Structure 1
Amino acid sequence: MATADLSQAPGSSRLSLQRAIWRWHFYAGLLSVPFLILLAITGSLYLFKGEINHTVFAYRTVVTETGTPALPPSALVAKAVAALPGSTATSFGEPASPAASAVVTVTTGDGPHLVYLNPYTGAVLATMRSDREPMYLLKKIHSLELFGTLANRLIEAIAGFALVLVVTGFYLWWPRGRSGGVLTVRATPGRRIWWRDVHAVTGALAGLVIFFLALTGMPWSGFWGANLSTYSAKLGIGFPAQLWDDVPKSALPTQAVLPNAGWAVENAPVPLSAPAAGAAPIGIDRAMAVAHGLGLAPGFEMALPSDGTGVYTAAIYFGDLSKERTVHIDQYSGKPIVDLGFKDYGPVGKAIEFGINVHQGMEWGLANQLVMLATCLSIVLASVSAVVMWWKRRPAGKMGVPPYPADPGVFRFLWAAAVAVGIVFPITGLAVLAMLAFDLLAIRTIPPLRRAFA
């Protein structure tokens, strides 16, 4: 929704292109502003999920060290199951530090639950359905996945619109001989130009990071992200599929047993254990010892076998990419069947995981969190200033859409750009094409719409 410099002669092709891009920028902003504000607010909170969990929810995440050894995992799992009679344990989350609780996931008739336990005494600190855990809910709201598949597809289009807004916004912001409103803000808050300058300067300073956030959010999307994961795996540039060549595989993806698996391996198949005659399962205590012996960093989660061919799957994903690891362990022999770390990923897998880490503020500690927080606040400021600026400039009773370009031939460029966007991001491309079609075919031909959008 930036205001363009319209100083050229009215019939110039440069002015026509500028007006067309301004109009495109306006529509993309009009459609996406409410969602961008939602993304920025929920993203800001999620950046500090660790701090929130260890302060607001300390009653279930923080324990007092007693100086005594922690209970074995099997004892903690048994206490979790006893806390919800009739349940079945599906995973064990090891405490990440001596002052952290253990978390056991159990399944009951109404779905999976989280049981938080004091690892020293086995006392149950809290239980809750896993889909009601606050940070889980926040993440699902952030992606709109909480509201269904259609809403999740919509947020994918909005992320694409954010990319469009940054590119077109930079074009409209470009100085072209101006000095005011480039890196400085003119006038006072009562004037439209003040809001225009706040919008333009904020977008210019934060635009590249906003573009990065939108782009690195795409891998989580239900359509583009899922297809990128599938094709990168087939091409061997995501996770190294050859590690499964000689391994019996189930039909389950890793995310089915560990919902928090990293992007690069979430669709990798879970291997199968090889039952031997008379062999007994090793149990979770030995499986945890095997994982420790393999060097998994403290705080990993281990999925438990669900049947006689299941495996123990240990995985850890947090700020230090070098410690990302997924290990599938045979439940009878205790041998690792597949052992996969960040170093083993293909180039796409490494790039996506790095981008996701930075996106979530986990790569460079507090500095990373603060930069992402500042960017989220910039999105809110740019969005609010855009709305105020538009409200102040629009004619009474009309939408105040930027004027059509004098040379309609420039729309050929925009159609080509929309097709190019659609090739890379299909859902965004469809949304952009629909936006252009509505503008050219409906607004220009239906008199009430033409008057309202004048």
Structure 2
Amino acid sequence: MTTISLAETAPARASASFYRAVWRWHFYAGLLTLPFLILLAVTGGLYLFRYELDGLIHRDLKQVEIRTSAMAAPSAIVANALAAIPGQAVKFVPPETPSASAEVTIRTADGTRKVAYVDPYDGHVLGQLPDKGTVMWVVRQIHSLAYFGPVANGVIEIVGGWAILLVATGLYLWWPRGRSGGVVSVRGDAGKRVFWRDLHAVTGAFAGLFVVFLAVTGMPWSVFWGDQVNRWANGNNFGYPAGVRVAVPMSDEHLHHAGPTSWSLEQARVPESVAKAAAPIGLDTAVAKFDALGLTRGYAVNLPSGPAGVYTGSVYPNDLSRQRVIHLDQYSGEPLIDMSFADYGPLGKALEWGINVHMGQEFGLANQLFMLAVCLAIILLAVSAGVMWWKRRPAGSLGVPPMPPRRRTLYGVFAILGIGGVIFPLVGASLLAMLALDRLFWPMAKA
């Protein structure tokens, strides 16, 4: 009977040991990510409504009174902007609506870029901001930690990978195993730890998959993984989608150097103008050409950077099918390359769709509100985790979950998590660092 009893309890012991190991690494994942996840949730929630908020905050620059008079020519708008801000005009954004201002990006003598906002009816300069200096652009830079430099930007990649591990281990811990409380309902009141445990678990169970979606769709912007996948997806650093091959001279300039572009086109090289013996067509003709070609309003025009430069019209609206980039020869005005979302390969289309949903663009207001709910759920998860930890931790201790009695169980969990570390190398490096710290500061119990 003793032998049978021991045999029956062995699986239970193994299961309990595995549970402890998962709990321990779930704690580590939370320790690393929760402060950053709160930052990402707050800034991401704000950025979902970037057009509305920027339009409100900068309404004196972005909004004008609608008049019945004709709008000024693009060249006149640019000339007025240069009179207010001496330098070289590098980009022109025609007004998207009759009540919107025009924007002119100018590179000054010291190399900085400024944006002049101009009333398109009378050419009056309304004011200026640094390039990417709107409130929502700052929020976006903080969201990616790019505001704090490339090293901090790399931290986001690590946080994204750990967030996926956090959800995976959390779902394992949530799994009912015969329980009814704390699965889809919350027990107790706010003064009890079980309330916060259930609130954390139930929120994570419902929001977990969407948190993973945000983490995965945010990875294309990451400093290492995103860059490598982008280069691989575009092939040989060329960048144009499959099927777009045009026999025109190509420069060494990439599209993303000129300004924000879609992820799939960041490595796209810009063609060169060839009919240099002719006179340049000028900005007015180029804008008229883009309009005639049906480029959706809201587009930006990058101006030729030299004798071989081109006029590049690009637009990335909420409707993915209307994404489009057109390069015009600055002398003949003929399109050298005209590509749209339909020209992207399957991987590019999938990633762009994910990015569009991530940013709350694909399904209008419903998309914005749903992603806002996910951001609020992330904040609730972080707050409930902090309260739960505070109530559980022993006095004077960090409160790391106890070591599993079987050492090989911990290694098994680490090996499973290591799969994510292989897919995301920076995450893998951080996993090894955490394993080293675990061995150094919290020695394992004997097996």
TM-score after normalising by structure 1: 0.93
Classify the secondary structure of the residue corresponding to 2:219: helix
Q: Which residue identity is paired with 1:118? A: D
Aligned-pair distance for 1:249?
Answer: 1.2
Distance 1:243 1:250 in 2: 16
Counterpart in 2 of 1:272?
272
Offset from partner CA, 1:411-454 (integer Å, 9 cap, x none): 33233224321221111121122212221344217xxxx9xxxx
Counterpart in 1 of 2:308?
309
Classify the secondary structure of the residue corresponding to 1:243: coil
Counterpart in 2 of 1:191?
192
Offset from partner CA, 1:31-80 (integer Å, 9 cap, x none): 11110000000001100001112222211111111012211111111111
Q: Which residue identity is paired with 1:99? A: S
Aligned-pair distance for 1:110?
Answer: 4.6
Distance 1:361 1:76 in 2: 32
Distance 2:306 2:239 in 1: 29
Cα distance 1:9–1:383, how it changes in 2: closer, same or farther (>3 A)? farther
Distance 2:180 2:92 in 1: 59
Distance 2:37 2:304 in 1: 41
Cα distance 1:11–1:438, how it changes in 2: closer, same or farther (>3 A)? farther
Cα distance 1:409–1:141, how it changes in 2: closer, same or farther (>3 A)? same
Moved more, 260-269 or 123-132: 123-132
Classify the secondary structure of the residue corresponding to 1:437: helix
Conserved 8 A contact 2:244-2:343: no
Conserved 8 A contact 2:295-2:315: yes
Aligned-pair distance for 1:247?
Answer: 2.2
Offset from partner CA, 1:192-223 (integer Å, 9 cap, x none): 11111111111111111111011100001111
1:411-430 alignment to 2 at 5 Å? Answer: 411-430=410-429
Conserved 8 A contact 1:11-1:407: no
Cα distance 1:140–1:286, how it changes in 2: closer, same or farther (>3 A)? same
Distance 1:246 1:420 in 2: 43
1:201 lines up with 2:202 in the alignment: yes
Aligned-pair distance for 1:164?
Answer: 0.7
Conserved 8 A contact 1:275-1:309: no
Conserved 8 A contact 1:40-1:377: yes
Moved more, 428-437 or 169-178: 428-437
Classify the secondary structure of the residue corresponding to 1:160: helix
Q: Which residue identity is paired with 2:415? A: A
Q: Which residue identity is paired with 1:384? A: V
Name stretches of at least 5 consecutive residues in structure 1 with no aligned partner: 1-7
Classify the secondary structure of the residue corresponding to 1:327: strand
Q: Which residue identity is paired with 1:219? A: P
Distance 1:305 1:20 in 2: 59
Distance 1:352 1:101 in 2: 32
Moved more, 9-18 or 326-335: 9-18
Distance 1:266 1:74 in 2: 28
Deviation beyond 6 Å, 4+ runs, structure 1: 8-11, 235-238
Distance 2:224 2:144 in 1: 13
Classify the secondary structure of the residue corresponding to 1:264: helix
Counterpart in 2 of 1:84?
85
Counterpart in 2 of 1:250?
251
Q: Which residue identity is paired with 2:334? A: K
Classify the secondary structure of the residue corresponding to 1:409: helix
Counterpart in 2 of 1:211?
212
Conserved 8 A contact 1:237-1:348: no
Aligned-pair distance for 1:9?
Answer: 7.7
Q: Which residue identity is paired with 1:32? A: T
Distance 2:240 2:189 in 1: 54
Classify the secondary structure of the residue corresponding to 1:193: helix
Moved more, 419-428 or 348-357: 419-428
1:19-418 alignment to 2 at 5 Å? Answer: 19-85=20-86, 87-108=87-108, 109-234=110-235, 239-240=240-241, 243-244=244-245, 246-257=247-258, 259-277=259-277, 279-418=278-417
Distance 2:405 2:316 in 1: 54
Q: Which residue identity is paired with 1:415? A: F
Classify the secondary structure of the residue corresponding to 2:263: coil
Distance 2:436 2:238 in 1: 37
Name stretches of at least 5 consecutive residues in structure 2 with no aligned partner: 1-8
TM-score after normalising by structure 2: 0.94
Conserved 8 A contact 2:320-2:341: yes
Distance 2:236 2:346 in 1: 11
Q: Which residue identity is paired with 1:414? A: V
Distance 1:124 1:242 in 2: 43
Distance 1:133 1:209 in 2: 29
Distance 2:29 2:146 in 1: 22
Q: Which residue identity is paired with 2:198? A: D
Conserved 8 A contact 1:93-1:104: yes
Cα distance 1:129–1:66, how it changes in 2: closer, same or farther (>3 A)? same
Distance 2:107 2:285 in 1: 23
Classify the secondary structure of the residue corresponding to 1:125: strand
Distance 2:239 2:271 in 1: 18
Q: Which residue identity is paired with 1:66? A: R
Aligned-pair distance for 1:94?
Answer: 1.5
Conserved 8 A contact 1:93-1:299: yes
Distance 1:232 1:110 in 2: 33
Aligned-pair distance for 1:302?
Answer: 0.5
**Count of residue correspondences:** 436
Distance 2:132 2:38 in 1: 24
Conserved 8 A contact 1:237-1:349: no
Classify the secondary structure of the residue corresponding to 1:292: helix
Classify the secondary structure of the residue corresponding to 1:337: strand
Classify the secondary structure of the residue corresponding to 2:332: coil
Conserved 8 A contact 2:37-2:379: yes
Aligned-pair distance for 1:113?
Answer: 0.5
Q: Which residue identity is paired with 2:393? A: R
Conserved 8 A contact 2:239-2:264: yes
